[in-house]
Amino acid sequence: MYIDRLILQNFRNYDNLNIEFSPGLNFIIGENGIGKTNILEAIYIASNIRSFRNIPDSEIIRWGENYYYCKSLIKENEYRKFEVGCNIDNGNVRKKIKIDDREIKKASDYFGKLLTVVFIPVDINIVSGSPDLRRRFFDSVISKIDPSYFEVLNKYKKILSSRNTILKQLKEKRSNYYNELDIWDSMFADSSYFIVKKREEFIEEFSKLFSLSYEKIAGTDSVPVIEYNSSIKSMHRDEILSELQQRRDKDILFGSTGIGPQRDDYLFLNNKRLFVNYASQGQKRIAAISLKISECDIIEKITEKKSLILIDDIFSELDKNRRENMIGLFQRGNQVIFTMTNSGYFDSMNVISTYKRFLVNYAGITEN
Amino acid sequence: MSNPSKYLDDLIREFSKLPGIGTKSASRLAFHILNMAVEDTERLIDSIVSLKKNIGTCIICGGISDEERCSICRNESRDSGLICIVENARDVLTIESTGKYSGLYHVLMGLISPLDGIGPEELNISSLIKRCGSNDVREVILALNSTVEGDATTLYLAKILSNLGIKVTRIARGLPVGADLEFADCATIIKSIEGRVEL
C-alpha cells in the first residue's frame, strides 16, 4: 500500500496542505524546525491515531485554532480513505476517526488497516532505555498483526489496575476483599497467559529476522539475538493462578502485582552477554534500525501487505557508506518517505526507484 | 454572551445539565416551552414532579416501582424459579420490551469496579442471596455487559450462587442478529465460534 495524497488543515505549522506523493521514494528536504517531521507525524496519526511524539492532541492543533484535520488517501489497499479530526472545545478534546467515510468507535477496529513503520532518532532508546519502552514497541508491533492481542492487552491493563487497587485496600485492611481478589486473580491469569504466549511465539520469529537485518547492515560484526524474559514464561494458565495465590501475602505487602506481563523484558544478547553493556553508540543505532526493518519484514510476512515506511532524519548520524547501504536496504518495493536537512545527502545517494523531492521552507512546501 | 431574560437563561442552564443536551438543544427546548400554553407546561411540570415523588425501588428486585413491590414481582403468572440479573433498572425495560422473558429480575445497581471504588458491598447483592436462599429459585441468568467490570461481576456472582446449589447461566455472546459477518470485529467472531450451537 502507499499514500497517494495527504491533506492537512490546522495541523502543527500547516494551515492548509495538500501533497501528492510518489509510490516509490519521497525526500522531504528543509532546515531544522521548518515542519518536515510534522508531515510524517500526520501520516503516522492517520495510521495509529496517536502521535509518535507522545504528546496530547491539543498540542498538534495549529496555534490559535481549535481543531485539526488530517486525511490520507491510500492506494493498493483494501481501505482507501483515512480521516482523523480533532476538536478542542472548552478544554475538552474530541477526536473523530473515519475509514472510507464510516466512523470508527473502537481503536481495535482501526489498528492494522493502514500499516506504517516509523524510523525516528529516539528509536535508540528502545535498545538502551527502560524495559517499558521495549514492551511498548513490541506490543505495538504485535497489535498491528493481531488485533485480538490489542484487545486482550487493553482488558489486561484494566484487570491489573483493578487487582492492584484491591491489594492496596487489603493492605490498609479497609475491608475483607479476599473473595473479590479471587475473581481478579482468575481474570489476571486468563489474560496474562494469552499475552505471554503471544509474546513468546512472536519473539521467536522476530529474533531471526532481527539478526538477519543486523548482519546485513553491520557486516562482520557479531550479531545479537533477542530473548523474551518473563516471570511467568512457559507457565500454563492454572500455574499462573497458583503462583499468584502463593505470593498473595507479598503482593498485598507491596500493594502491587509482582509477576506478569507488566514486568517482562526483551533482552538483546550476544553469547549470553548483554548487548547494551558493550555495544557502541553506532552498534546501538544499527540495532534500532534493524528492529524497525524487522518490523516491516514481519508485517509483510504475516499480513502479505507492504507497510509505508517513514524515516525521520536518521542520516545525519551515519557516514557516507552506511547511508548508501541504508538507501539500498529501503529500495525493497515499499513506499518510503524520508526527511533530511541537507540536500547534499540526497545528491550522494544512488536512487534507482521512482522518486519525488520536496523542498520545505518558510513559504511552504514545493515539489522539485 | 448575555440573553435578554434571566428566566430563559436559568431554564437553558438547567436543560443543558441533562444527558445528551447541549446549549443549542437546551435553548431550542426553552423557546419551545416559552411558546407552550400555560396548562401544557403545568402538565409537564406535574409529570416530572410526580415521577420524582412516586417512583421508588422495589424491595424485592431493586428495580423501579410505583409501590413497595414492582408490577413484575407482584405478577403471579411469572416464573418465580427464574431470575435474570441485570446491571440497572433500564436493562429491565430493554428485556421486557421483547415480551419473551417470563421470569423475574434482580437489579444490581452497578458493577464491581475497584477503579471506581465499587465493590460487592456497594451493590444490591445481599438481597439477591437472601432471595436465592429462601425461594424456589432454580436458575439464575447473568445478563451483564461484556466488559472487564461485567465479567468480574459475572464471575463473582457465579461463584457465590453456585455455592448455593443453583444453576447459573450467562446470556450468549456473539454476532448481533441481522449483522454482517464481514463487519464484525475479531473478538465477536471468536466468541460466536466458541458459543456455536448444534442444529
**Contact with chain B for residue A161, Cβ under 8 A:** yes
- Quick one: what percent of chain B has pLDDT higher than 90? 60
Do B71 and B17 lie in a common domain?
no
Do B45 and B77 lie in a common domain?
no
Helix (H, G, I), strand (E, B) or coil at B134: helix
pLDDT(B9) > 80:
yes
**Contact with chain A for residue B194, Cβ under 8 A:** no
Do B29 and B72 lie in a common domain?
no
Instruction: Report d(CA A256, CA A244) in Å as an integer.
Output: 11
In a domain, B168, yes or no: yes
Write out the H or E segment, with its range, that includes residue B193: helix B186-194
CATH code of the domain containing B68: 3.40.1360.10
Do B39 and B130 lie in a common domain?
no
Parent domain of B182: 64-198
Contact assignment for A158 to B121 by CB distance below 8 Å: no
In a domain, B74, yes or no: yes
What separation in angstroms does the CA of B15 have from each of B18, B26, B47, B48?
6, 5, 16, 13
Greater pLDDT, A175 or B197: B197
What separation in angstroms does the CA of A273 have from each of A268, A294, B27?
8, 22, 70
C-alpha cell at A62: 495549529
Do B39 and B82 lie in a common domain?
no
Helix (H, G, I), strand (E, B) or coil at A218: helix
Confidence at residue A244, expressed as pLDDT on a 0 to 100 scale = 93
Residues of chain A with C-beta less than 8 angstroms from the C-beta of B185: 106, 108-109, 147, 151
Residues of chain A with C-beta less than 8 angstroms from the C-beta of B152: 159, 162, 183-184, 187
C-alpha cell at B172: 450468549
Residues of chain B with C-beta less than 8 angstroms from the C-beta of A186: 155
In chain A, which residue ranges form alpha helices assigned H by DSSP? 36-48, 107-110, 124-128, 131-145, 147-171, 178-218, 237-246, 248-254, 275-278, 281-303, 320-330, 343-347
Do B74 and B133 lie in a common domain?
yes
Do B71 and B166 lie in a common domain?
yes
Residues of chain A with C-beta less than 8 angstroms from the C-beta of B186: 108, 147-148, 151
Smallest CA–CA distance from B147 into chain A, residue: A155
pTM score, two decimals? 0.81
Instruction: Report d(CA B49, CA B46) in Å as an integer.
Output: 5
Do B25 and B44 lie in a common domain?
yes
Which among B148, B159, B185 has the least Cβ separation from residue A155? B148
pLDDT(B186) > 90:
no
Q: Which domain-ending residue is among B54, B75, B91?
A: B54
CATH code of the domain containing B46: 1.10.8.420
Contact assignment for B185 to A109 by CB distance below 8 Å: yes
In A219-261, which residue ranges form alpha helices assigned H by DSSP? 237-246, 248-254
CA proximity to A88, closest of A72, A109, A105, A64: A64
**Contact with chain A for residue B152, Cβ under 8 A:** yes
In a domain, B115, yes or no: yes
Question: B157 near B125, Cβ under 8 Å?
Answer: yes
Instruction: Report d(CA A279, CA A86) in Å as an integer.
Output: 42
**Contact with chain B for residue A183, Cβ under 8 A:** yes
DSSP state of A363: T
Helix (H, G, I), strand (E, B) or coil at B35: coil
Contact assignment for A109 to B113 by CB distance below 8 Å: no
Q: Which of B115, B148, B163, B180 to mutate to test the interface with A (most CBs of A within 10 A)?
A: B148
Do B14 and B88 lie in a common domain?
no
In a domain, B182, yes or no: yes
Bridge partners (DSSP) of residue A216 are none
Q: How far is B2 from chain A (nearest CA, A)?
A: 18
State how many domains chain B has: 2
Q: What are phi and psi of B153, to 5 degrees?
A: -65, -40
Greater pLDDT, A175 or B189: B189
DSSP state of A142: H
- A178-218 and B148-163 helices, crossing angle to 10°: 140
In a domain, B21, yes or no: yes
**Contact with chain A for residue B39, Cβ under 8 A:** no
Contact assignment for B159 to A184 by CB distance below 8 Å: no
In a domain, B1, yes or no: no
Do B114 and B192 lie in a common domain?
yes
Residues of chain A with C-beta less than 8 angstroms from the C-beta of B190: 148
Write out the H or E segment, with its range, that includes residue B57: strand B56-57
Question: A115 near A47, Cβ under 8 Å?
Answer: yes
pLDDT(B180) > 90:
no
In a domain, B59, yes or no: no
Do B127 and B100 lie in a common domain?
yes
Greater pLDDT, A331 or B147: B147
Q: Which residue has the cell 552477554?
A: A273
In a domain, B32, yes or no: yes
Phi-psi region of A101 (alpha: psi -120 to 50; beta: other; left: phi over 0): left
Residues of chain B with C-beta less than 8 angstroms from the C-beta of A108: 185-187
* Identity of residue B173: R
Strands A25-30 and A67-75: what pairing?
unpaired
Which 3-state string (H, E, C) describes A36-88?
HHHHHHHHHHHHHCCCCCCCCHHHCECCCCCEEEEEEEEECCCCCEEEEEEEE
Question: pLDDT tens, position by position, for chain A (368 residues)?
Answer: 999 999 999 999 999 999 999 999 999 999 888 899 999 999 999 998 889 888 888 889 999 899 999 999 999 998 999 999 999 887 788 899 999 999 988 877 787 889 999 999 899 999 999 999 999 999 999 988 887 898 899 999 999 999 999 999 888 876 666 788 999 999 999 999 999 999 999 999 999 999 998 888 887 668 999 999 998 888 899 999 999 999 999 999 999 999 999 999 999 999 889 999 998 888 898 899 999 999 999 999 988 889 999 999 877 766 777 777 777 778 888 999 999 887 777 776 777 778 899 999 888 889 88
Contact assignment for B113 to A162 by CB distance below 8 Å: yes
- A131-145 and A281-303 helices, crossing angle to 10°: 20
Do B17 and B78 lie in a common domain?
no
Bridge partners (DSSP) of residue B140 are B83, B168
